[in-house]
Homo-oligomer: A and B are copies of this chain.
Amino acid sequence: MALRARALYDFNSENPGEISVQENEIVTLDSETDIEGWLEGVNSRGARGLIPASYVEILKTSEPAPSLNNAAGNGNASRYGNIPTGGYDTSSYTTQTQNQNFTQAPAAFTSLSVPMQQQQAAQQNYQASQGSDDDWDDDWDDSSTVADEPGVVGGGSQDCHAARYRISTRSDTSSVYSRSGQQQSAKGSATVSRNLNRFSTFVKSGGEAFVLGEAAGFVKDGDKICVVMSQYGPEWQENPYPFSCSIDDPTKQTKFKGMKSYMSYKLTPTHTQNQVNRRYKHFDWLYARLVEKFPVISVPHIPEKQATGRFEEDFISKRRKGLIWWMNHMTTHPVLSRCDVFQHFVTCASTDEKAWKQGKRKAEKDEMVGANFFLTISTPPAPLDLQDVESKIDGFKTFTKKMDDSVLQLNATANEFARKQITGFKKEYQKVGQAFKSLSQAFELDQQLYSAGLNHALAHTGDAYDAIGEYFAEQPRQDVDPVMDLLALYQGHLANYPDIIHVQKGALTKVKESQKHVEEGKMEAQQAEGISERCNIISFSTLAEIQHFHQVRVRDFKAQMQHFLQQQICFYQKVTHKLEEALQKYDSA
C-alpha cells in the first residue's frame, strides 16, 4: 500500500536528488522511516527523489482536513515552533507581557535574547531565509529527538575571496555562528512567585524551578561539579585530566548512491589518541544537548550552517577554523570538557554504531539538565554576599555590552581593512608597478649600453610593486581572518550572556521576594533560607562562568593579537625585502 503524506511547507529542491513540493501537496512515500532526516518518494508531478522528513506529515487512513496546528511529523519540529514569526522585542532586561497570540512559524527559528543589534542582524537573515527557502542543508540532523529546524543561514556562496569582505559586516559577522539551542528569548523577569511566562529564560533554563526547590534527582559522584574560591573569586575547579582535540581537514563523503554528500571531520582528542569521524550534524546535535543541560554556562556557538557552496574550499577551511576555535573553547572549559555527552562525542569510535546510539540515547535522556544541573554543583562553604554578587553581575552586564559594541566595531573595521587590501591597496601598488614597467619599456627604446642596467632595474622595480600588490591581497588570510574568526566566536559568547545574567537576576529577585514575604509573614523563614541557599549556588556558578570567560578572553585576545602583529610584521618585512631586492638591481645600473 502506497504511503501518502502531505507537505506542511513549501520545499524547493536545491541539490540533485531532492524534489520540490508545495504546501499541502500530497506526495507518495516509499517508507515511513526517514534516512538521516530524508524521505524518498514521488511528488504530485511524478518527480521522484528526497524530501526533508520534517516538511511532511504522513496521512493516516482517517486523516482529517489539513490543520496547521498539527505541526510537523517529527515530534521535535514543533519544539521551537511556537515562536512569533516577527521575533521578540529584545530590548533586554525589561519586563514585558508575553504575547500569547502565537502563530505557527513555517520554518521554526530559534530566537535568542541577544543584544538588539545582533538580533536585528539575525532577523534579517531570518527574513532572507524565509523568502528564498534555500536554507535547507544536507548537514541537517537526521532523526528523532534533536531540534532540526532550518535555522539561520549565512550569506550565500563564499567562492569569491574578495566577496568575503562585504561592506555590511553586521549580518556577516552575526551569521557566522548560529545558535540552534534550547534557550529562547523572553523578557519577563520573575516578579511573581511563579512566572506565568513559560518563555522566560529563567523559567526555561530551570533556574526558577531550582530556586523554588522543585528540582530533584540523584547526583552521582562523577557528575559533581565544584566551584572553588581563587584569588580572583569563584572559579570552576580545573579539569584534572586536561586534553585538547585536533580537527583535521574534512573529507567529502556521499550517500544515497552519490546523490547526497557531506563533509566528515577527523577529530583526535589527546587523551585517547583515537581518531573519530564526525559530521556537522553531530556537532549540531551535541551543541543542542549542551545548551539544554547547562543553564549558566556559555556554550560556544558552532559555526554557521551554509546552504550553498558547502564543498567549496574557502567555506570548508573557514568552517574548520570555526570548529577548531569551538573545540578549543570546549576542551578548555572545566565543566563542558568533562561532561559525558562531550566525552562521548570526542571518544566514541565512529565504527561502533551501537555504542554511538547508546551514548546518544543516554545523553538525550539525561536527567541532570536545566534545573537539575544546579543539583550537581558543590560550592565553597561560605555563602556569597548578595549585594556583592548583584554588583558584580551588573558590572559584567556593562562589560559585555561595551565589549559587544567594540567587537562589532573591530569586526567591521577589520572586514573593511581586509577588503581595502584585497581591492584598493592591491590596485594602487600594481598601478605603480605598471607605471614603472611602462617607463622601463619606453627607456628600452634607447639602446645605449649605459642605459641597459637602468632599464633592467626599472622593470624589476615594476615587478616588485606588482608582487607587493599581491602580498596585500593575500595578507588578510594570514592576519585579519583569524582575528575575525575570534571575534565571531566571542560574539557568540556575548550573545549567550544576557540569558545567563537573566537566570542569575531571576534567582536574586526570588531571594528578595522571599525575604519580603518572610517579613510580611507570608512565608516561613526556613523556606526563604532554602531559596537563598539555592540562589547562592546559582551565584557561584554564574560568577565562576564569568571568571572563566575573562580568563579565556585574556588568553585568546593576547594570543590572537600576538599572532596578528607577528603576521603584520612578517608582511612588512616581506615588502621591505622585495624593495631591497629591487634596490640592489640599481647597484649595477
Residues of A within 8 A of B (CB): 232, 395, 398-399, 402-403, 405-407, 409-410, 412-414, 416-417, 420, 424-425, 428, 431-432, 434-436, 438-439, 441-443, 445-446, 448-451, 453-454, 457-458, 461, 550-551, 553-554, 557-558, 561-562, 565-566, 568-569, 572-573, 575-576, 579-580, 582-583, 586, 589
Contact call B550/A562, Cβ cutoff below 8 A: no
Contact (A410, B435) CB under 8 Å given A569-B580, A573-B576, A580-B569: yes
Q: What residue of chain B has the Cβ atom nearest to residue A581's Cβ?
A: B565
How far, in angstroms, from A435 to B408 measured CA to CA in the complex? 9
- With a cutoff of 8 Å between Cβ atoms, the chain B residues found around residue A561 in the complex are 454, 457-458, 461, 586
Known: A450-B550, A454-B557. 6 other contacts (CB 8 A): A399-B446, A406-B439, A410-B438, A413-B434, A416-B431, A451-B550
Nearest opposing residue in chain B for A433, CB measure? B413
Q: Is the interface of A mostly helix, strand, loop or mixed?
A: helix
Q: What B residues does A413 contact at CB under 8 A?
A: 431-432, 434-435
Q: Which 8 A-B pairs have the closest CB atoms?
A: A413-B435, A402-B442, A410-B435, A565-B583, A406-B442, A572-B576, A406-B439, A406-B438
Query: Residue A554 contacts which of B403, B454, B562, B566 (CB distance < 8 angstroms)?
Result: B454
Q: A409-B435, A435-B409, A579-B572 given as contacts; is B562 within 8 A of A402 (CB)?
A: no
Closest B residue, CB atoms, query A430: B413
Contact A402 B232 (CB under 8 A): no
A417 in contact with B410 given A403-B442, A572-B572 (CB within 8 Å): no
* Oligomeric state, in copies: 2
In the bound assembly, the distance between CA atoms of A583 and B479 in angstroms comes to 14
Closest-CB distance, A325 to chain B (whole angstroms): 18
Q: With a CB–CB cut-off of 8 A, which chain B residues contact A436?
A: 410
Taken together as a complex, chains A and B put the C-alpha atoms of A417 and B436 apart, in Å, by 13
CA of A568 to CA of B561 in the docked complex: distance in angstroms?
Answer: 26
- Pick the contact of A428: B405, B420, B450, B589 (CB < 8 A): B420
Q: How far is the CB of A354 from chain B (nearest CB, A)?
A: 46
CA distance A550 to B417 in the complex (A): 43
Residue numbers in B under 8 Å from A438 (CB-CB): 405-406, 409-410
With contacts A457-B561, A565-B579 taken as known, whether A405 is within 8 angstroms of B442 at the C-beta atoms is yes
- Complex: A232 Cα to B562 Cα, angstroms: 58
A-B contact pairs, 12 of them (CB 8 A): A232-B450, A395-B445, A402-B442, A402-B445, A405-B438, A410-B435, A416-B428, A416-B431, A420-B424, A424-B424, A461-B565, A554-B589
* Chain B residues within an 8 Å CB radius of A553: 443
Do residues B558 and A589 form an inter-chain contact, with CB atoms below 8 A? yes
- Considering the chains assembled together, what is the distance between the CA atoms of A402 and B232 in angstroms? 72
Shortest Cβ distance from residue A556 to the other chain B in the assembled complex, whole angstroms = 10
Question: How many whole Å from A435's CB to the nearest CB in chain B?
Answer: 4
**Contact A398 B445, CB 8 Å, known A435-B406, A558-B586:** yes
User: In the bound complex, how far is the Cα of B432 from the Cα of A406, in angstroms?
Assistant: 12
Determine whether the beta carbon of A562 is less than 8 Å from that of B586: yes
A438 vs B448: C-alpha distance in the bound complex, in angstroms? 59
Complex formed: what's the CA distance from A443 to B404 in Å? 11
- The contact of A414 among B425, B435, B441, by CB within 8 Å, is B435
Chain B nearest Cβ from A274, distance in angstroms: 35
Q: How distant is A395 from chain B, measured CB to nearest CB, in Å? A: 7
Cα A302 to Cα B398 in complex, Å, equals 65
Which chain B residues border A398 with CB–CB below 8 Å?
445
Q: For the complex, what is the distance from the CA of A562 to the CA of B582, rounded to whole Å? A: 9
Q: Do B403 and A443 have beta carbons less than 8 Å apart?
A: yes
The answer on a CB contact under 8 Å between B432 and A428 is no
CA distance A562 to B454 in the complex (A): 11
- Using A561-B458, A576-B572 as known contacts, say yes or no to A432 and B414 having CB atoms under 8 A apart: yes
Q: What is the minimal beta-carbon distance from A513 to any residue of chain B, in angstroms?
A: 30
Q: Point out the residues of chain B lying under 8 angstroms from A550, CB to CB.
A: 446, 448, 450-451
Contact B554 A582 (CB under 8 A): no
Which residues of chain B have C-beta atoms less than 8 A from A461's C-beta?
A: 561, 565
Please give, as numbers and ranges, the residues of chain B lying within 8 Å of A434 by CB-CB distance.
Answer: 413
A412 (CB) vs chain B CBs: closest residue: B435
Partner of A399, one of B439, B445, B454: B445
- Docked CA distance A389–B412 (Å): 64
| A554 B451 Cβ-Cβ under 8 A | yes
Task: A395 to B438: give the CA distance in the assembly, Å.
Answer: 18
A457 surroundings in chain B (CB, below 8 A): 558, 561
Q: Per a CB cutoff under 8 Å, which of B232, B575, B583, B589 touches A449?
A: B232
Q: What is the minimal beta-carbon distance from A59 to any residue of chain B, in angstroms? A: 56
Contacts of A582 in B (CB 8 A): 565
Contacts of A425 in B (CB 8 A): 425
Q: Considering the chains assembled together, what is the distance between the CA atoms of A572 and B578 in angstroms?
A: 11
Q: Which residue of B lies closest to A436 (CB)?
A: B410
Within the assembled complex, what's the spacing in Å between the Cα atoms of A550 and B448? 8
Q: Which residue of B lies closest to A566 (CB)?
A: B583
Which of B407, B451, B569 lies in contact with A579, CB distance below 8 A? B569
